[in-house]
Chain A
Amino acid sequence: MNRKILLAGAVLFAGTAGALALSYVASPRDPFASCRDNNMVDYAEIGGPFTLTDETGATVRDSDIVDRPTLLYIGYTFCPDVCPLDNMRNADALYLLAERGVDARAVFVSVDPARDTPEVLADFTDFFHPEMIGLTGEQDSIARMADAYHAVYEFRESDDEYYLIDHSTYTYVILPGHGVVELVARDDAAEDVAALTQCLADRA
């Protein structure tokens, strides 16, 4: 008897979840759908509020940072190749967006507060774009933020201070009032990121 109820519940749940997924995918009300290649991601599940420390040492919230279209990346500055490559791409996208009249912002969140002090972050971000903001924080705050953004990172073991960190390399496109509206893979070119961000920002 109990088993039957459970089974009925499971079927009902699966049915509802399926219907929700279908209505989400097909939703004509998602204003950003036409900008994206992939509308199978439930963007409402990704992102959320955060409180971190900026490159001047001040405590900032997501609402202070995301007051315009924002490209957000999560990494660490000791990474000499991939993080700079990805953030240079994001900086180039900012320059392209500015040329097209879109005032956007880039943010670099470091998961490595032990090495990435506000000063180190300022050096790193200023090298790419004067308007790029570096954020970090206590490990707890970073872990909560990364979790909300479905980002993963893992410190690799090392005997010295030259440890490496495996990490997600997505760039999040975040719009004020809408939150995360797109994930950009690292192999997308600056031109594509700019066009996509403009498309999304125009529909906000």
Chain B
Amino acid sequence: MKFSGIATSIALVLGTCSAAFAQDITIEDPFARASSPAAKSGAAFMVIANAGDEDDRLIAAESDVAARVELHTHMQDANGVMRMIEVEDGMAVPAGGSHALERGGDHVMFMGLTGPFVQGETVSVTLIFEKAGPISVDIPIDLNR
């Protein structure tokens, strides 16, 4: 009883914080793609803008379209070897600035698609920010970008 009371107040406090910050974060020009209509993996790209006066950080992403959804980036070494790696501590979105998730760089990675990515349809993704909290976006699928 007491415990659930504490949990509720924490949720309330968190809820209040989220409300204060979520409006500062906007998702611009999002698109999702897979390497082919039959692919088992996909990725989403977008520009995350932060109009607030406090730095934020994208720390996770969730979606039903894949068995696993992770934040990834690419690193290329001097010999042209590409490593795709999970970004464990998230992606910073500076106050008054933006952060681009773009081809060949940072992206939301969908591993084990539950269905095909069909051109023109959308995928629902919840982006979770350290301060702004969860923000849901419907991301259009564009296999040609």
Contact = CB atoms under 8 A, between A and B. Distances in A.
A contacts with B: majority SS: loop
Given A120-B38, A124-B36, A127-B37, A81 B74 contact: yes
B contacts with A: majority SS: strand
B85 to A, nearest CB: 8
Given A82-B104, A85-B103, A124 B35 contact: yes
A77 B109 CA distance: 14
B137 interface: no
Interface stretch (A27-35, A64-72, A98-106, A159-167): A159-167
B43 interface: yes
A186 B42 CA distance: 20
A123 B40 CA distance: 11
A195 to B, nearest CB: 20
Contact of B80 (A78, A161, A185): A185
B57 interface: no
Nearest to A183: B80
Chain A's interface size range is: 20 to 34
Contacts of B111: 78, 162
Interface centre among B36, B37, B38, B112 (most CB of A within 10 A): B36
Contacts of A77: 35-36, 39-40
A162 B67 contact: yes
Interface of B: 33-43, 67-68, 74, 76, 79-84, 103-104, 107, 109-112, 143
23 contacts: A77-B36, A77-B40, A81-B43, A81-B74, A81-B84, A81-B107, A82-B104, A85-B103, A85-B104, A115-B40, A120-B38, A127-B37, A160-B112, A162-B67, A166-B83, A167-B81, A169-B76, A169-B80, A169-B81, A169-B82, A185-B80, A186-B76, A186-B104
Interface of A: 77-85, 115, 120, 123-124, 126-127, 152, 160-162, 164, 166-170, 185-186
